[in-house]
Chains A and B, each alone.
Chain A
Amino acid sequence: MAALAQQTSNPPARTNPLSGNEQAIEEGHEIYNRTCTTCHGVNGAAGARGPALAGRRGYQRSTDASIFDAIQGGIPGTGMPPSGLAITDIWKVAAYIRSLRASASDTFVPGNVSHGEQIFWDKGDCGSCHMIGGRGGILGPDLSSIGEERTLRQIRDALTQPRAQIPDGYRPVEVVTTDGRRLSGILKNENNFSLQLLDSHDQLQLFTRDELREVRYGHASIMPANYDKTLSPAELQDLLAFLSRQARDKIHRSRKNTEHEP
């Protein structure tokens, strides 16, 4: 344990010369899938003998240098052997592994940010459901920190791929009360005995089950997932560039004594 701690806490101060380089990440991806998947899973998933390298876990090596050292020299006392890769290829694989874990705000996302912001509020109509910086709608999640909460890929998928599951707190629901009133909204919480919803007038409504004659659950998120069709590729890229830069909590942590935010 002490040896491990020493290895991870005292790496040489080296950074990846290929960090964030898209072509290098792509090549690193290929090298990884070719040479590392005897033990680790394909595309950074968990494998038969090695852990998943995607995701953010406390035990994972997180600096460029510590990832490099593990690939080059293996991890003594574990099944991780030295890879025998050339130094440039090691940096490529390290760049790929970092990219698996990077939040969107850690990634350089090209695009016209201010145009992306305009699309968020106008053409994309994102602001009718989502809030950024205290402005916008309340039916969907607040996106003020989405760039640090999600990877770029997750954000792109949310805009273009229908979700298999609706996250808790955002399922559409329609209820009919025992006295015949009908309300629709977003289900914030429920159990066998009660149900809490944010109704279509943006007001919270509280019910016990015995006050409801009928509860109809929506099976699809109200989040449109066709922005690759309603926006041009350039517009989608600009929107991604804007969203990936939404990192309020990170900004807050670095600017402790601001008079007034946002």
Chain B
Amino acid sequence: MMKLARLFCWAGFLLPAVAQVTYQDLKTADPRNWLTYSGSYSSQRHSLLKQIDSGNIHALVPKWIFHVPRQERLESVPIVVNGVMYITQSRAAYALDGRTGRSIWSYRYPSTLGQGDNRGAAVYGNRVYFTIPDAFLIALDARTGSFLWQSKIAEAKDGYWAPAAPLALNGKIVTGVAPGDYGMNGLLAAFDAATGKQLWRWDAIPKPGEPGNETWAGDSWKTGGGDTWLTGSYDPELSLIYWGIGNPAPDFDGDVRKGDNLYTESMVALDADTGKLKWYFQFTPHDTADWDAVEIPVLVDAPFEGKMRKLLVQANRNGFYYVLDRTNGKFLNGTPFSPHLNWATGLTKTGRPIRVPGIEPSLQGTNVCPSVTGATNWMSPAYNPDTGYFYFEAVDGCQIQLKAAQKFRPGGFPFDATGVTESPEGPLQTYIRAIGLTTGKPQWEYKLIGARVYGAGVLSTAGGLIFAGSPEGSFLALDAKTGRELWHFNTGETIKASPMTYSFKGEQYVAVEAGSNVVAFGLFNPNEEGR
């Protein structure tokens, strides 16, 4: 500093130092920033920003594009702190000027054994955290991209990798691993935000002698899967982390792992300080359809049957929408949201699926609905407290599911025991759906014509808007109440990431990653010359 001051002979007025990201900031979630993967600890993805609304949405124009070299498909959600945007890809992180898309720094990890998707960063203090395909948590200086430290989450040489955006809590960073489909057992780990030291670790598959191990036949728990590849949510008052757990392995051959296979296909609540399991709720006991339950848990305080409740809701890949009490994991309500659901006729009073016998993978093939891709997937949902609706992307359809015996091979190889073929019952079809928060009752749906696969997540804003993206490249805004299409833009590349919004110096922006680009939108401003 002295050097700079000398250089300019300068002793003038200073801007106050901008505070680094504190735990309080993360809890408050100022709508001008977007500090976590899902925008806030509750993961509602509802922004209070309303400069862009249903009345002026026609004036929404692209403001800038940032192209990420050597990347085909970005899947991260940008993080924004005081106008600075952080994005990540599998081995790299970038800091951008959120108003102009101009680069401030970039960081590239030297080399990795593996490859894989990356879904974003976490910020805490003056640091940016992200994970790399070799299952390390990386800490960078948020102002320069300088590498500070790395900590191992799991063994890359065993086949682990780490795609999830980490979650920053009070002085600790929590993250998980992939892939369960290789028979690699999942875990969650917390690291000291300053030093990278591991503080606790929770294993998703209980070992012999631990509660839950009895839900695995023989030694099948050893290759049980149950990974943690999408970011969870957090309730600071209860000090509980909520994280969805992935599928059991081998995916399609359940014969070798008889039992409920805990804690695969469950929502788990862990004590944030110790990593101890507080409660769990299993959506799909003994899953044979690869219906990972990692979908974002959305935390809402709302009346349920006349009483204010702390709720956790999730649209699950198995085709049901669940309402749980997040203090204890008690099942409150569950409704199918997929019209093609054929594997269960409903849910019991405790939320256990009532299975249709024979609807499971077979040697000759069985038509199972929803498909293996799931009735929904990693695409982030949203909740708008103004409408009381829960919004998410759904994929309707069926697939023929097959099974065959397969031996586990250590070192990171697929362990799915066969797979799927197309069902004659029509192609898959993608929708944006709105349902009642506590009832699960359908409110509206918007069909994404031409979309047969997963697309983007959704964003809700106080401007009465739902932003969504289609895998064919359209970015669009819908009326939150009616689902009516209000605006669209062809980004030219497939959209597989979830949109977000932020504001800087009084102007609101909406950004989404499309293919190899980050695209930011804002209202047309005729006074912008000179920008």
Contacts and interface: CB of A to CB of B under 8 A. Distances in A.
Interface of A: 129, 131, 134, 138-139, 142, 144, 169, 172, 174, 180-186, 188-191, 193-194, 196, 198-206, 208-210, 216, 218, 220, 222, 248-249, 252-253, 256-262
B531 interface: yes
Interface stretch (B99-107, B284-292, B388-396, B468-476): B99-107
Given A257-B155, A260-B152, A184 B83 contact: no
Contacts of A142: 144, 146-147
Given A174-B10, A181-B15, A194-B99, A138 B144 contact: yes
A138 B146 contact: yes
B197 A260 contact: yes
B3 interface: yes
Given A204-B104, A205-B15, A208-B531, A198 B143 contact: yes
B148 A134 contact: yes
A169 B145 CA distance: 12
B368 to A, nearest CB: 40
Contacts of B147: 134, 142, 144, 248
8 closest A-B pairs by CB: A210-B530, A134-B148, A201-B17, A182-B12, A142-B146, A194-B100, A222-B3, A203-B18
Interface in B117-168: 126, 134, 139, 141, 143-144, 146-152, 155-157
Given A183-B15, A203-B143, A209-B531, A189 B197 contact: no
A256 B110 CA distance: 11
Nearest to B504: A206
Contacts of A218: 7-8
Contacts of B5: 184, 200
B1 interface: yes
Contacts of B8: 172, 174, 184, 216, 218
Nearest to A182: B12
B312 to A, nearest CB: 34
18 contacts: A134-B139, A134-B146, A134-B148, A144-B147, A169-B105, A182-B13, A184-B8, A189-B102, A189-B103, A202-B126, A203-B143, A206-B504, A208-B531, A209-B530, A210-B529, A256-B113, A257-B157, A259-B151
Contacts, number: 132
Given A202-B143, A203-B18, A222-B4, A188 B100 contact: no
B10 A182 contact: yes
Dominant secondary structure at the B interface: loop
B143 A208 contact: no
Interface string B56-100: 000000000000000000000000001110000000000101111
B31 interface: no
A205 B84 CA distance: 9
B187 to A, nearest CB: 15
Contacts of A172: 4, 7-8
B65 to A, nearest CB: 14
Contacts of B95: 204
A182 B504 CA distance: 20
Choose among B1, B98, B196 the residue with the greatest number of A CB atoms under 10 Å from its CB.
B1
Contacts of A262: 149
Most buried by A among B5, B83, B147, B152: B147
Contacts of B529: 210
A45 to B, nearest CB: 31
Contacts of A182: 10, 12-13
Nearest to A224: B3
B152 A196 contact: no
Contact of B97 (A186, A196, A248, A252): A196
Contacts of A248: 147
B98 to A, nearest CB: 7
A43 B102 CA distance: 40
A98 to B, nearest CB: 24
B111 interface: yes
B376 to A, nearest CB: 36
B14 interface: yes
Contact of A208 (B14, B105, B110, B530): B530
A257 B135 CA distance: 10
B13 A181 contact: yes
Given A134-B148, A188-B105, A260-B149, A200 B531 contact: no
Contacts of A258: 152
Contacts of B12: 182
Contacts of A200: 1, 4-5, 14
A208 B152 contact: no
A257 B155 CA distance: 8
